[in-house]
Structures are given as C-alpha cells and as structure tokens.
A and B are shown apart, each in its own frame.
Chain A
Amino acid sequence: MDLTYRDEQRMLLDSLDRLLASEWALDSRRARARDPSLDRAAWQGLADLGVLALLVPEAHGGFQETPATLMLAQITLGRHLVQGPLIPSAVMATALLRDSGHAAVCQSCLPAMASGERVLAVAWLEGDQRHEVVARAVTARPDAQGWEISGTKKLVWAGAQADQIIVSAALGDEQALFLVPAGARGVAVQDYPTLDGQHCATLVLDRVGLPAGALVARGAAARKALESALDHGLVALCAHAAGATQRLVEITTGYLEVREQFGRSLARFQVLQHALADMLMHQEMALSLAHVAARGLGDTDPSERRRLLSAAKVGISAAARFVAEQAVQLHGGMGMTDELEASDYVRSLAMFEFLLGDSDWHLSRFQDHAVC
C-alpha cells in the first residue's frame, strides 16, 4: 500500500482546485443549479481538465485511471460542490458502458463523453424502488426495426440534462440495458429540482422505437454493467460527500472566528471549540472511509467489494450528517438561512445518506458480506 500522491494526481488536483475556485464560486454554482439546462461551457471546462475522461479507457481517448484517482478528484469536486451530471455521466454511465463489453457502443459514446460533447444518464429506478435494481415496469421487445421499449423510470439523476439515457428494462425473462436518445419519438422527460440543488427527472417511454444497436447488454452482462455503474457511483458520491464535509468544517471554523458575541469571537468558547473538534474528527473518518471505498472498488472479490462500499456509505453518511447538523447549530440563526454558503453544503450532505442506498440497506448488505 502506498498512500502518497503520484505527481500526476497532485497536478490534476491542483489544477482542478484552481479552476473550481474561479468557475464554481457560490453565485455561479447557484445559478447553474437553478437552471434546468446544462451549462455547456462549464461542462467543457471540466472536460478540458480531463475530469470527464478519468474512467474512459485509453483506447477510447481517456486516462483509464484508478479508483484512487477517481476518489481524489471527487473529494476536490465535493469541496467545491460541483454537481450536475458529473457522477451520472462521467462516472456511472462511463463505467457501465466500459464494463458492458459492447465495443460498438463504447466506440460511439465514450470518446464523445470524455471530450464533453455528450452527456449520459442512467435510469434504473421505477415504481416504489429505492434499492432494487430489477426492471419490471419498463419492458422491451424486439420488432422489425430493432426494439420497442415502454414504461416509466423515476428519480433519473440529471435525466433532463442528458443527451442519451441508459435505461434498464425487462426483455422477456432477462434484464437488459438500452441506450435511448433523449430526443427520440415517444420519450418524455419531466425535470424536477432537488433538495440538494441538483436535478432529477421522471422518464416516460411510450413505445419508443430503437435500432438493433441500442441494446447495450442483456442477462448477466447487463446486471454486471449496472452493478459497476452503481459501485463507481457510490465511490464517487462517498468521496464527494467527504470533500463537502471537509469544506463545511472549514466554513464553520471561519464563521466562528469572525462572529462575536459576549465581547469575543465564538471560536474562544470552549464548548464550541469541542464541537469543532468533533466535526474535524468526523471529517477525518469520512475522508478515510472514502479511501476504503476506493480500495473496495478495486477488489476483485465481489463480496469484499460490496462489504467495503457499504461500510463507507454507512460511515460517511453518519459523519456527513453530524457535520451538517453541527454546522447549522454553530452558525446559529444564520445557519438556518439560505444566505450563506454553508446552506448548500448542509442540504447536499443531508440528502447524501439516501442516494444510492440508505444506511439501513447498506448496513444489512455489510452484514450479509461479513468476514468471519
């Protein structure tokens, strides 16, 4: 094990931090969050730094980076609260296509995704699902032109910002993944703002006709590709939350130093110093568990991978919640407003626990894969 940063990692993080500090400051970030249409210029800025190409194989114009680099980049992105389609497209859809084994789809999509030209989303939830990944309500069947697919997906992360959406569907007795152009006839995308300043969509497919090549994977290959998307998404999300946690501790510390009551700065009160110390300890646990998640992603044993990913999600959720709640408390009334930057981090960290599996579910999965 070597926990030091490689030179390329250091350079990537430094340039990323510089770009994000200027391009993703509070006002521009909030303006982007309000606007349901994707800020293509900002997206291109991320592409130019290589952020969208981290997981793309070299053969398709990417960097073919390790889980560790993915994690480190997402910690920095989380510090600046860069959201939008980054995880759904550059992490989840990229990993899904890469691991689908479908060379033609990879060739047509991955270079365009790495360069920032094309944005993808993944739609796997339907009905009352929160954790299940079995498609039933969305069904596909072969027809003369290729496939016809119908049904409704919910909570599609950045679905309305995507050019194409990978949709899970029941294909007879099998599970299958299809690549659906957002503009195809019969596709309706309803965008919703989210509690954490993002966007998600309901996707309604009404007898959408797809060419034969739109089938990305079926059967065991489809399950494996979707699990890869969820695993990569989980590591990215965990690292993002750990980075946001770290930044929120800094913001809160800064506020306590500036705010004065009873004739001295709040940072001089021991009870608040101890609260900050607790926040910092939770932050370090979150950052460390983000490393655990990245280690799990690289593990070839599926059971160990699931165990470590779930461990990270449970632990970082608890840390993120603690830090978010303490940040509000220590900001006092100002912490309840939307007027300070802390608000964006609090809402993001509050929602984090429920994305890609809540704590109860991950706790159960951790126990299911316990080592004796």
Chain B
Amino acid sequence: MDLNWSKADLAFRDEVRQFVADRLPADIRNKCRRHQRLEKDDYVRWHRILAAHGWGAPNWPVAYGGTGWSPLQRLIFEVESFKGGAPRLLPLGLNMIGPVLIRYGSEAQKARFLSRIITLEDWWCQGYSEPQAGSDLASLKTRAERAANGYVVHGQKTWTTLAQHANWMFCLARTDPDARPQAGISMLLIDLRQPGVTVRPIRTLDGGTEVNEVWLDGVHVPEDQRVGEENQGWTYAKYLLGHERTGIAGLGHCHRELALLKDMAARTCADGRSVASNARLNDRIARVEIDMLGLEMLLLRVAAGSDAHPGPQSSILKVLGSEIQQRLARLQFEVMGLESWPYDPAWRFAEADFFGPGPDGAAAAGASYLDMRKTTIYGGSTQIQKGIIAKMLMGVA
C-alpha cells in the first residue's frame, strides 16, 4: 500500500487545476461562488468547453466519447473543478441515463443520444418520483399503454430537477398493471417537446424553482425509445442508482464550500472583529474539515475496491457526504448570522445587480442552508439509505 499521491496523480491534478483556471468563464465562476442561480446557457457553455477538450464525459469509456479515467482521476477532476469554481456537470445525462444506455441501450439509442449528452444538445430530466411514490418508488402509477408503434403515457412526475430546460425525460412507467410492483415497470425515453407535456415549477423553501412537476397526458413514445426489455425498468433503475458510487458524496462540492466558508469567515467582520477570530466557530469548522479527510479516504478506498462485491458503500457515502454538505452550508449561515436576515429570492434568482444590504454572500447563506436540507432527502433519504445499509449488514438484501 502506498498512501501518497503518485507523481502522475499530482501532474493530473495540476493539469485540471490549470485548465479550470484558464478556461472557466469568469461570470460562471462568480455565480458559483456567490451561490447564484446558473442559467441554462451557463451549463451549456461549460459542458462544451470540456467537451472540446475531450473531458466532456469523465466517467464514460473512451469508445463512447468518454475520458476513460480511473475512479481516482475522476475524483481528482471533480474536486479540482469544484475548487476552481466550476459548476457541477449535470448528472442527469452523464451519470444517470448515459451509463444505463451504455449498458442496456440499443446501438441505435447509443448512436442517437450519447454524444448529444456530452455537448448538452439534449438536456435530460428524471421521471421517477410521483406525488404518491417517493421513498416507495415502486408504487408509481404513471402508466404506459400499448399503442400503434409504441406507447401512450399518462401520469404525473414530481421533483423533476431543471425540467424547465429539458427536452428529454427518462421515465419509469407501469407497463404491466397486474405484475407485482417492481416487475411491471419499463424505462421509457420521452421527448418532452410534444403535446400533452406540462411542466409546472415548484417553489422551494429558499424561494427558488429548480424542481418541477411534470404532467404526461397521452404522450406518445415510439417503441424504439424503450430502454431494454419491457417490464425490466426496475433493474435498469437500480443499476443507475448504484452506478455512480463515488460522485454521490459530493466531495468536490464539499471542498468548494469549505474554501468559501473559510474565505467568508476571514473577510466578514462582526462587532469590530473578524468572524475568523471566533474560536467556537473555528472549532466547528475544524470538525467538519476533519470529517472531510475521512470521507475523502473512504471514497478512495471504495474507488480502489470497485471490482469487489457491491456493498452498502454508496449508501454510506450518500449519508455521510450529504450530512457534511449540510454542515458546511450551516456554518456559512453561522458566519453570516444576523446579516443573512434580509432576503429576497430575486437577489439570487434573477440576473441581479443587487445582492442585499449585508456583506458579500450574506443573503445567499441563509437560503443555501435551507436549500441544502434537500441532500438528505433526494436520491433516497437518509432513512431509506440506513435501511439499505442495515439490510446488507444482516445479509438480507
């Protein structure tokens, strides 16, 4: 065992760091560092800058336009790009439907969709959750009925992230109403630019509208837009959830937020003193930084053992990583404290030239704290993840 970074690792880290410093547009960097809303074009520009450099799909095989990077390289890339102020790469195409198509899609589907994911020519959203099917996803009611040359879909999906920008949805729909819940589900690729699709934004705690409800009323899906076999959708969905094991912890996000947190504390004054001189606060910051060291090594251990029998690692990483993300957001709120009181969503969600009366970052800090409560809910809540961990521990999965 060699616990040090190799020369090649360090060289790769420096290469990514330099690339992000040189090529990330300054306006996007500023938005990320201010916790301001990114517009569709911001994501598109960054994805295409990476794609032009051959880095558009860090976790895909070279044959499909990916980088072919090792898990370690992917982790280095993620951390360095976040630290450099880059936006996250949208996971919906790259980490979710992309790997499913690579594993289970037809050659025609791969040819049609994969390269357009890398360049964000297609923007994908996820049609999983429904108003009555959250943690209990298998109880979903959206139905796909056989029609000439395909299906007609009726149903309602919710928590659909950034559906307002999407032109495609990968959707779980019931194709056999008589089978047991998990057995009668198919995965369909739905073109959202057609009649019968309605997207309504959901206003969240922080005043934002990043998630949506999507109604599908008699939406047509051709046969060749079903992934794999009919009624096998649950298998593909589970593959998708277990596929990206290291990205789920949000380590890159954590590194960026820790740096922002320290920067905020250093440049914000309260009662005539730097907030960074508050020993109680510094203890809390140190504790979360210590936990990040542990999380990072856990990620590396999981990545190194990626061929081993799949265990509950992705659930463990999800629980630990989401809690650290929440603590970092909480600490930023504590740094700003009373200064976060005045808040208007317009200061964050429009192309604003006014960010509130407080110090830089103050208005966004309270809202980010509220927003980050989602991390222990989405993608399988902490309660669901702990259930999975316990089942695996007891060998009953």
Question: Provided the pairs A325-B373, A332-B377, A333-B158 are in contact, do residues A262 and B272 lie with their beta carbons within 8 angstroms?
Answer: no
Q: Which residue of chain B lies nearest to A128 when distances are taken between CB atoms in the complex?
A: B269
Question: Provided the pairs A328-B373, A333-B129, A333-B158 are in contact, do residues A192 and B366 lie with their beta carbons within 8 angstroms?
Answer: no
Shortest Cβ distance from residue A5 to the other chain B in the assembled complex, whole angstroms? 34
Q: Which of B46-54, B244-252, B285-293, B338-346 makes up part of the contact surface?
A: B338-346
Q: Does chain B have a CB within 8 A of A336?
A: yes
In contact, B343 and A329 (Cβ under 8 angstroms): no
- In whole angstroms, what is the CA distance A48 to B199 when docked? 47
Question: Of B134, B135, B281, B373, which is within 8 A of A360 by CB?
Answer: B281
Q: Which of A130, A262, A336, A363 has the largest count of B CB atoms less than 10 A from its CB?
A: A336
Q: Which of B136, B205, B269, B359 has the largest count of A CB atoms less than 10 A from its CB?
A: B205
- In whole angstroms, what is the CA distance A263 to B180 when docked? 14
Shortest Cβ distance from residue B306 to the other chain A in the assembled complex, whole angstroms? 30
Binary contact readout A342-372 vs B (1 if CB under 8 angstroms, 0 otherwise): 0100110011001100101001000000000
Question: Provided the pairs A332-B381, A336-B204, A360-B280 are in contact, do residues A193 and B373 lie with their beta carbons within 8 angstroms?
Answer: no
In contact, A355 and B203 (Cβ under 8 angstroms): no
Q: Tell me whether chain A's interface is mostly helix, strand or loop, or mixed.
A: mixed
Shortest Cβ distance from residue B91 to the other chain A in the assembled complex, whole angstroms? 18
Contacts of B333 in A (CB 8 A): 350
Q: Does chain B have a CB within 8 A of A272?
A: yes
Q: Does chain B have a CB within 8 A of A271?
A: yes
In contact, A329 and B270 (Cβ under 8 angstroms): no
Interface size on A, residues (CB 8 A): 43
Contacts of B357 in A (CB 8 A): 154, 190, 192, 202
Interface size on B, residues (CB 8 A): 47
Question: CB within 8 Å of B: which of A193-238?
Answer: 193-196, 200, 202
Q: Does chain A have a CB within 8 A of B299?
A: no
In contact, B341 and A200 (Cβ under 8 angstroms): yes
In contact, B341 and A354 (Cβ under 8 angstroms): yes
Binary contact readout A62-97 vs B (1 if CB under 8 angstroms, 0 otherwise): 000000000000000000000000000000000000
Question: Of B340, B344, B356, which is within 8 A of A354 by CB?
Answer: B340
Question: Of A132, A261, A272, which is within 8 A of B272 by CB?
Answer: A132
Q: Which of A125, A128, A339, A346 has the largest count of B CB atoms less than 10 A from its CB?
A: A128
- In whole angstroms, what is the CA distance A271 to B386 when docked? 10
Q: Does chain B have a CB within 8 A of A111?
A: no
- In whole angstroms, what is the CA distance A130 to B202 when docked? 34
Q: Which of B129, B377, B378, B381 has the largest count of A CB atoms less than 10 A from its CB?
A: B377
Question: CB within 8 Å of A: which of B371-397?
Answer: 373-374, 376-378, 381-383, 386
Q: Which of A269, A328, A346 has the largest count of B CB atoms less than 10 A from its CB?
A: A328
Q: Does chain B have a CB within 8 A of A338?
A: yes
Question: Provided the pairs A130-B271, A354-B341 are in contact, do residues A347 and B205 lie with their beta carbons within 8 angstroms?
Answer: yes
In contact, A336 and B205 (Cβ under 8 angstroms): yes
Question: Provided the pairs A195-B366, A328-B373, A337-B204 are in contact, do residues A129 and B271 lie with their beta carbons within 8 angstroms?
Answer: yes
In contact, B338 and A130 (Cβ under 8 angstroms): yes
The 3 A-B pairs at the shortest CB distance, nearest first, are namely A192-B342, A261-B136, A195-B343
Besides A196-B341, A261-B134, A328-B205, 8 new A-B residue pairs in contact (Cβ under 8 A), listed by A number: A195-B370, A328-B373, A329-B383, A333-B129, A333-B211, A337-B203, A338-B203, A338-B205
List 17 interface pairs A-B (beta carbons < 8 Å), by A numbering: A125-B338, A130-B270, A130-B337, A155-B342, A193-B342, A193-B344, A195-B370, A200-B342, A261-B139, A329-B381, A336-B374, A338-B203, A338-B207, A343-B205, A346-B205, A351-B341, A358-B338
